[in-house]
Amino acid sequence: MAANETSVVYQGAFGTRNVAAATPMSSDTIFRIASMVKLLTSVAALQLVERGKLKLDEPAANIDPTLAAPQVLAGFDAKGVPQLRPAHKPITLRNLLTHTSGFSYPLWDPNVLRYLKAARADPALPRRPLMFEPGMKWAYGGSIDNVGQLVEIASGQSLDRYFAENITGPLGMNDTSFVIAEKQRARQASLHVRDTNGKLIAKPFEKLAPPTTFSGGGGIYSTAPDYLTLLQALLNGGSLRRANILRPDTVAMMSTNQIGNIEAGILKTANPALSNDVDFFPGVHLRWGLGHMINVDPVRDGRAAGSLTWAGLFNTYYWIDPKKRIAGVIMMQILPFADKQALVAYRQFEHGIYRAI
């Protein structure tokens, strides 16, 4: 789907929800959107910044003591024992929102994998050391999970309740939630994986055990129309159909490079079953704002320079182009991430939208 700030300009649904079944894909199909929840969590945190309950540049440990006294992994000794040192700087909310905190995912960082293996043999080691000094590099990791915890502490609400009262509820995003009902399950797309020949195989649905905790970095469901509503609100400066979720100056700040000359957005997989290597725009300089990746250069036949984007593990993607006043979302349910055929469909969709507008 694609839209400007007031109306949908294109909507389409293709294929089936499950390759083994005849149920067609539809615009109201429910998808697991994984890391695309990070944008919702970032919006939530910035709402609390606007209300004075969180600060971008004060130590995040002032709100969440578990972030106090972080340890940096300096390397491994000859026996493979992790060498840790205290961080020189505290972790801030800005670090967490921009993925410059030092936290990194094992999926894209072999040092994290090596550390976790050592930590299993030594319970005295901290569970999540930093891979570098806060603010020094960019690494995609669990930072937004910590932002979700900050939102819960500062608001006094669970993350699902906070979203419902402050973002999804006001915007009418009724299919966006950490928990889906049986009626919604009937509209859910199955996850598909590729076999050794590249053929898609449907996997059984995940169990619907009621969660007791909620992640700011993953684990939410949505539909393309629901998520596009959020994108339209941001494209429109933080408001849509009488719902105001952020101030225009905050939305502008989200869309501005927050990491200087640090390169962002390129990932090398440590687990090819879950993700391919990621470089969505080869040769394009990439930075990070407060919630999105930013392409510094224009993308040929597509989005303008300064556009905003990110994605979810199961091949769901979005972008916002403030210059050309267009936003788009495309959702599939396939592993590994950055599936080559999924990316071809994504690019064809984007190019088609820009040829039409």
Q: Please list the active-site residues.
A: 35, 38, 140
Residue among 191, 289, 273 nearest 234 (CA)? 289
Q: Which letter does DSSP use for residue 219 in this model? A: -
Q: How far apart are CA 216 and CA 46, in angstroms?
A: 13
CA end-to-end span of the chain, whole Å? 14
Give φ, ψ of 176 to 5 degrees: -110, 110
Q: Is 349 helix (H, G, I), strand (E, B) or coil?
A: helix
Burial class (CB in 10 A: 0-12, 13-18, 19+), 98: buried
Helix, strand, coil percent content, the chain, rounded in steps of 5: 30, 20, 50
Cα 44 versus chain centre, distance: 13
- Tokens 């309950």 sit on residue: 53
Burial class (CB in 10 A: 0-12, 13-18, 19+), 140: buried
How many residues are listed for the chain in this entry?
357
Q: Which letter does DSSP use for residue 52 in this model? A: T
Query: Residue 112: in which H helix or E strand, if any?
Result: helix 110-121
Residues 6+ apart with CB under 8 A from 313: 34, 35, 218, 274, 275, 335, 337
Q: How far apart are CA 324 and CA 307, in angstroms?
A: 9
- Tokens 């969440």 sit on residue: 64
Contact call for residues 144 and 219 (beta carbons, < 8 A) = no
